[in-house]
Amino acid sequence: MIWLQLFLSFFQIGLFSFGGGYAAIPLIREQIVNIHGWLDMDQFTDLITISQMTPGPIAINSATFVGIRIGGLPGALTATLGCILPSCILVTLLAKLYLKYQKLDILQGVLDSLRPAVVALIASAGISILVTAFWGSGGGIRLSDTDWLLAGIFVICVALLQKLKWNPILVMVLAGAMKLAAAAVQKWVF
């Protein structure tokens, strides 16, 4: 039964995650945290971090991770299949339709109207992960509860990515090293 739940949950994610991996994050959160409770919000944030660090799309990496955690290897295969099957079907159909009707203005209008929705999905996911990173999964945002070390690491990483155009992998490694160094100093000093 759990394999069917995994398949159907990730089938829905694969079916409705227009805009790529970042747009799928709210859908993944809704299914695995809110509906099924397979992960809590802290584990979900860790999942997104791990999915970013490993090759492949976020949704597929998430499906594999959650599937193996919930249903072992068969669960991983089932969840991953559920995630990729809608894309295979939809891309085949859409490619045929797009090639046939690509000159129609209404099609271009529909594609243009989807862009703001995709940006909203990505922004929503980013804000949700940001809140969890700085204030935990308790839901409250209070200045006194802010993890200032993580906020500082965030600011440094944004500057390195946006201003200095560093490689994202190097920035992730540096962020991990900064956190480890801070933990070592805290342990040594205190």
**Cα separation of the two ends of the chain:** 50
**pTM above 0.85?**
no
Q: What's residue 139's pLDDT? A: 63
Q: Dihedral of CA 59/89/8/119: which sign?
A: positive
Q: What's residue 19's pLDDT? A: 65
CA distance 64 to 47: 11
What single string gives the DSSP state of each residue in the chain?
-HHHHHHHHHHHHHHH-TTSHHHHHHHHHIIIIIIS-SS-HHHHHHHHHHHHHSSS-HHHHHHHHHHHHHHHHHHHHHHHHHHHHHHHHHHHHHHHHHHHHTT-HHHHHHHHHHHHHHHHHHHHHHHHHHHHHHH-TT----GGG--HHHHHHHHHHHHHHHTS---HHHHHHHHHHHHHHHHHHHHHH-
> Residue-wise pLDDT tens for the chain (190 aa)?
899 999 999 999 988 877 667 778 888 999 999 999 999 988 998 888 888 878 888 889 999 999 999 999 999 999 999 999 998 998 899 889 888 888 888 888 888 888 898 888 889 888 888 888 888 876 678 888 888 999 999 999 999 999 999 999 999 999 999 999 999 998 887 6
What are the Cα distances from residue 135, in Å, to 1, 27, 138, 151? 36, 22, 7, 10
